[in-house]
Structure 1
Amino acid sequence: MSYSPRRSTNPNTAQPQLKRPRPLSLPEVLSKEQALKHAIFKMQAHSLTPTPSTTSPSSETDLSSFHSFPFSPKSDLTSLLSDELLLLILSKLPLSQYLHNSLVCKRWLYLHGRLLHSLKILDWGFLDSGRVFDRFPNLTDVDLVHACIRSPRNSGILVTRKTLSIHIDSLFSPNGFIEEGDVLRPSVVDHGLKLLAEWYPNIRRIVAIGASENGLLSIARECQTLQELEVHCCGDMALKGISACRNLQIVKLIGCIDGFYSSVISDIGLTILAQGCRRLVKLELSGCEGSYDGMKAIGQCCQMLEELTLCDHRMDGGWLAALSYCGNLKTLRLRSCKSIDSSPGPDEHLGSCPTIEGLHLQRCQVRDRQGMKALFLVCEAVREIVLQDCWGLADDVFSISTVCRRVKLISLEGCSLLTTGGLESVVLSWKELQRLRVVSCNNINDSEVTPALSTLFSVLKELKWRPDSRSLLTSNLEGTGVGQKGGRFFKRIKP
């Protein structure tokens, strides 16, 4: 006879407490979700199998509907989207993902070519054969410079000079890194530009090297919407083709780069450019010659010019006085210039540019007091002055900038000759100064800051003060023992 215990009916007897179920962890939730999906998948697959009839023999299972099941891992869900919709989705991704997406399948590779608008061509045969037009039909920005230069692609030696970077071999040539035979002939380059003009009439930007007047004329005739043009190694006569581009807004001319190539752009070319391209907004002249006449023509004809950049210029003396004809110039940039103006002339003949707001000097030689004085007189209405890694900026040279009474921002970086006293004498004279940046000027020390300069610091809207990199390093290493004799980082290891 078996005995089975009964539950006690006494209300005073304590009832056992029910435990709350333990919350599931994330791996358990995912596991249950996968198991549920697998069960649903099996049930739907089973429902697609025909039920065998009792009166007819069992037939084979029809798997055609099973292979079209939307949850099949072999199905491509993107095939249900049209090309236009998939292009819209892919265009929302960052540019860094475009190349990876093109490797998914042939269709995505096809769409990647339609999605890309900017291309730097490295192989001239890719352009000459016409493959580039089938692969990328919607280009608006094409760079041909590297395709026009014969260089070893597998070389580990990369030489960069200004905006040009090429691979070279280990052989030394006294003529420079690029010899005359390394650049394609102008007729070949012109043929490539003609192909670009025929296939991309809506192109916006072109970068070329060694082109002649004929090639640039074909671009001007076919590409009415061309807005930006960068031409390397071109002469005065080639600029006749550029002058036919009536809607150009940005032009960059590189005449000479030491060690790479050399061509001459003088007052003749600058005058041709100015008379044709009257809608210029930005103009950059690198390694170009010229004088007062060429700059005057640009100022008189290009009334919309707002930004002028001179890089390693070879201008004759007196060119600064022509800036007074630039009636809408807002920014003047000088980069890697060995001199500002060798002979600016009398101060009363210089004139001024009242619309200019920004003056930027980078890696320039500023030892010549006469040239710097002429520059500050022409730019006396400037609001921003930026001096970066300029050689020869001593206290006497920097003191000339006091003629600019409306300065609101001054940025100094890498000016090792400037002292604290020279900085103070200038910045205290600017009553409208609001922003001050001093970086890596090793002759400016915190210990030499006067109360007057400290008062100025307290009222500025922006102050970036890191003048002495050595003292900054010392303060960061304080207490670590580094740099001290017998410090814990330099203890001798005993055997």
Structure 2
Amino acid sequence: MRGHDLINTFLPDELMVEIFGHLATKSSRDACSLVCRRWLRLERLSRSTLRIGASASPDIFLHLLPSRFSNLRNLHIDERLSIPLPLSLPVPPRRRPLKVHCVANNTSSAETNPDSLCLSDAGLAALGEGLPRLERLSLIWCSNVSSDGLKSLAYKCTFLKSLDLQGCFIGDQGLAAIGQCCKQLEDLNLRFCEGLTDSGFTEFALGVGKSMKSLGVAACAKITDVSMEAVGSYCRSLETLTLDSEYIHDKGVHAVAQGCPHLKVLKLQCVNLTDDALKSVGAACLSLELLALYSFQRFTDKGLRAIGKGCKKLKNLTLIDCYYLTDKGLEAIATGCKELTHLEVNGCHNIGTIGLESIGKSCKCNHGVDLSYVYESFKMHRHLTELALLYCQRIGNIGLLKVGQGCKFLQALHLVDCSGIGDEAICSIAKGCRSLKKLHIRRCYEIGTKGIIAVGEHCNLLTDLSIRFCDRVGDEALIAVSEGCNLQYLNVSGCHLVGDAGVIAIARGCPQLCYLDVSVLPKLGDMAMVELGENCPLLKEIVLSHSRQITDVGLAHLVKSCTMLESCHMVYCSGITSAGVATVVSSCPNIKKVLVEKWKVSQRTKRRAGSVIAYLCVDL
């Protein structure tokens, strides 16, 4: 009934909190909190997760948080984010807002005490006092936090399950206190924690070893093999380990492999590891499912053979800049790891066509049988679903031909700077991998219109297509794709042969399009913008940069119906003026980012939407 607030009259607080808890996006929650004071209070009660910046007197934030968000369980504090206090924590009406430069005791300003703009031990202590049931805490680059603050937090937040201390200069005493008090801790991330040594880490592992499941250590110069031996001795339930260090050797990884039989995820970027480390992993970590090896210079195919021989449950393998690996190592993986579903080979210059052929042959299923048999085979055996080949100059068409013939369930293919791969390979993929949903190609100059036409004809499930700087792809390719696929994501940046005809076909054939990058297309003009505006109402992001034939007229037609547009990049578009920029800002109620040259933004546009304007080159 008009004039009556039925919701606030009849719905109890408990039901309102339950409703707010089911809102999917932060923007929806924020909108509800602005309705009235009651909704603001109840919406705060429903929030279990909050992300804030640790600048502009963060200690004040943490003193206010418990009273306003009493049910917080997950808190992310990032000193790289700069959010003024009045925007992050709305001040109730009739109350004077706190000044951004104030500190907790109001005795000094930011000008006289720059540290007041950073999270301190006092703020961390207040957090522990106010939110003792906190479960997940991230402190990102909070450099003023020390062991004292971490100790006070540990004594109060004994239910802590996850802790991220990236860039925090905490010492051994603080980490040891976490180990002594937080017996439910499962996840710890230490990155750029230069104040830690083996002594503090060992005490920590002794305290929470039984509960630890995930550990990340990166760029901690004083954490060595001694700490990894402590992990192997006390963290028997560890499932995920990420190591990035030049101070950890085979001895440390061997200790972890022997002591953590339940290890499922292992990511290593340790330049001093050799084949012996991978042999230990292959012999002891029989439950390993994901292995990522980065920049390995001292191990060869022998290590990868050990993985193929022992890690039969391996599903995901990433090899980046492993220069001494050859086709034989990849063959060992193909032969031994029958459950492999994701493979990335990046910058491994000695892996070539033969290695990829072995992958294609290994997942090949029997053909010429009924679909029910194929379906049962898929349930019984894992098949390759995602393949990424980046900077693989020695892989030719035949390798992908075998993948197309064997990997019938491939859903995602990424190709970057693979000069030996051309249309023949893409045609084989298109005809054999009918389940393909994502195809990303960049700077593969032998791939042209013929290959992409085959994709459009055969891969009807494709929703994500990116063909960047492939200068042999023209309009005919996009026309075929528009007829066979319903794209949601399209990137044809730098495909110089693509013009209005191809983009118009996409606009008419793909009404679900949400993202479009048509930058660096010299033939693209206003007609394509008109069609996009008329046929793609769901478009949220568009990149038009370096498209010199697009003018204010085309831009006006685009934004007329694309009311959901959130991001528009249009730098170096000589046909777009300040009037076009103003049109985008005024016509798109959901706009969040407009990237443009500074001189094209009028003073009126700055006043109206300065917060959404971004400048690529501020001096232009």
TM range (shorter): 0.5 to 0.7
Call closer, same or farther: CA 1:100–1:484 in 2, change over 3 Å: closer
Q: Name which of 263, 266, 271 aligns with 1:330.
A: 263
Distance in 1 between the 2:318 and 2:242 partners?
Answer: 15
SS state at 2:285 partner: coil
Give the aligned partner of residue 240 of structure 1.
176
**Does the 8 Å CA contact 1:332/1:356 hold for their aligned counterparts?**
no
Give the aligned partner of residue 121 of structure 2.
190
**Does the 8 Å CA contact 2:265/2:289 hold for their aligned counterparts?**
yes
Give the aligned partner of residue 95 of structure 1.
25
Q: Post-superposition shift, 1:230?
A: 1.3
SS state at 2:132 partner: coil
Distance in 1 between the 2:58 and 2:412 partners?
Answer: 51
Q: Post-superposition shift, 1:351?
A: 7.5
SS state at 2:188 partner: strand
Q: Which has the higher helix share?
A: 2
Q: Post-superposition shift, 1:84?
A: 2.0
Q: Are 1:286 and 2:218 matched, yes or no?
A: yes
Distance in 2 between the 1:351 and 1:484 partners?
Answer: 49
Q: Post-superposition shift, 1:82?
A: 2.4
TM-score by length of 2: 0.52
Greater RCO, CA 8 A, separation 6+: 1
Structure 2 spans left out of the alignment, 5+ residues: 86-112, 365-380, 416-420, 422-440, 453-472, 478-494, 502-521, 525-548, 550-620
| Residues 259-278 of structure 1 mapped to structure 2, 5 A cutoff | 263-278=194-209
SS state at 1:480 partner: helix
**Does the 8 Å CA contact 1:320/1:344 hold for their aligned counterparts?**
no
| Residues 428-447 of structure 1 mapped to structure 2, 5 A cutoff | 428=361, 434-435=383-384, 437-441=386-390, 442-443=392-393, 447=397
| Residues 289-300 of structure 1 mapped to structure 2, 5 A cutoff | 289=221, 290-300=223-233
Q: Could you report, residue by residue, the CA deviation over 1:189-225 in whole angstroms, capped at 9, with x for unpaired residues?
A: 3222221222112111122334333322322322222
Distance in 1 between the 2:116 and 2:307 partners?
Answer: 42
Q: Name which of 142, 151, 161 aligns with 1:217.
A: 151
| Residues 261-410 of structure 1 mapped to structure 2, 5 A cutoff | 263-278=194-209, 279-289=211-221, 290-311=223-244, 314-334=247-267, 337=269, 339-342=270-273, 352-361=283-292, 364-370=294-300, 373-374=302-303, 377=306, 380-384=310-314, 386-388=316-318, 390-393=320-323, 396=326, 399=329, 402=332, 405-410=336-341
* More deviation, 470-479/345-354: 345-354
Distance in 1 between the 2:60 and 2:277 partners?
Answer: 54
Give the aligned partner of residue 45 of structure 1.
none
Kindly provide the amino acid, as one letter, of the partner of residue 214 in structure 1. Answer: D
**Does the 8 Å CA contact 2:162/2:187 hold for their aligned counterparts?**
yes
| Residues 252-263 of structure 1 mapped to structure 2, 5 A cutoff | 252-256=189-193, 263=194
SS state at 1:130 partner: helix
Call closer, same or farther: CA 1:196–1:405 in 2, change over 3 Å: same
* More deviation, 438-447/94-103: 438-447
Distance in 1 between the 2:76 and 2:196 partners?
Answer: 22
Call closer, same or farther: CA 1:479–1:265 in 2, change over 3 Å: same
SS state at 2:165 partner: strand
Distance in 2 between the 1:308 and 1:430 partners?
Answer: 28
Distance in 1 between the 2:165 and 2:34 partners?
Answer: 34
Give the aligned partner of residue 130 of structure 1.
63
Distance in 1 between the 2:196 and 2:311 partners?
Answer: 30
Call closer, same or farther: CA 1:153–1:312 in 2, change over 3 Å: farther
Q: Are 1:448 and 2:398 matched, yes or no?
A: yes
Call closer, same or farther: CA 1:91–1:280 in 2, change over 3 Å: same
**Does the 8 Å CA contact 1:271/1:297 hold for their aligned counterparts?**
yes
TM-score by length of 1: 0.64
**Does the 8 Å CA contact 2:131/2:157 hold for their aligned counterparts?**
yes
Distance in 2 between the 1:129 and 1:400 partners?
Answer: 51
**Does the 8 Å CA contact 2:338/2:362 hold for their aligned counterparts?**
no
Q: Are 1:251 and 2:251 matched, yes or no?
A: no
Kindly provide the amino acid, as one letter, of the partner of residue 57 in structure 2. Answer: W
Q: Post-superposition shift, 1:301?
A: 0.5
| Residues 437-476 of structure 1 mapped to structure 2, 5 A cutoff | 437-441=386-390, 442-443=392-393, 447-449=397-399, 456-457=406-407, 462=410, 464=412, 467=415, 468=421, 469=441, 470=444, 471-474=446-449, 475-476=451-452
Give the aligned partner of residue 574 of structure 2.
none
Number of residue equivalences? 380
* More deviation, 284-293/131-140: 284-293
Q: Are 1:114 and 2:45 matched, yes or no?
A: yes
Identity %, equivalent residues? 21
Q: Post-superposition shift, 1:375?
A: 6.5
Give the aligned partner of residue 36 of structure 1.
none
**Does the 8 Å CA contact 2:274/2:299 hold for their aligned counterparts?**
no
Higher Cα Rg, which structure = 1
Q: Are 1:480 and 2:470 matched, yes or no?
A: no
Q: Post-superposition shift, 1:409?
A: 0.7
Give the aligned partner of residue 5 of structure 2.
76
Distance in 2 between the 1:382 and 1:327 partners?
Answer: 17
Q: Post-superposition shift, 1:354?
A: 3.4
Structure 1 spans left out of the alignment, 5+ residues: 1-70, 155-180, 257-262
Call closer, same or farther: CA 1:184–1:252 in 2, change over 3 Å: farther
Distance in 2 between the 1:419 and 1:218 partners?
Answer: 55
Distance in 2 between the 1:344 and 1:266 partners?
Answer: 27
Q: Could you report, residue by residue, the CA deviation over 1:82-110 in whole angstroms, capped at 9, with x for unpaired residues?
A: 22222222222223310111111222111
**Does the 8 Å CA contact 2:171/2:196 hold for their aligned counterparts?**
yes
Q: Post-superposition shift, 1:350?
A: 7.6
* More deviation, 390-399/448-457: 448-457
Q: Post-superposition shift, 1:463?
A: 6.3
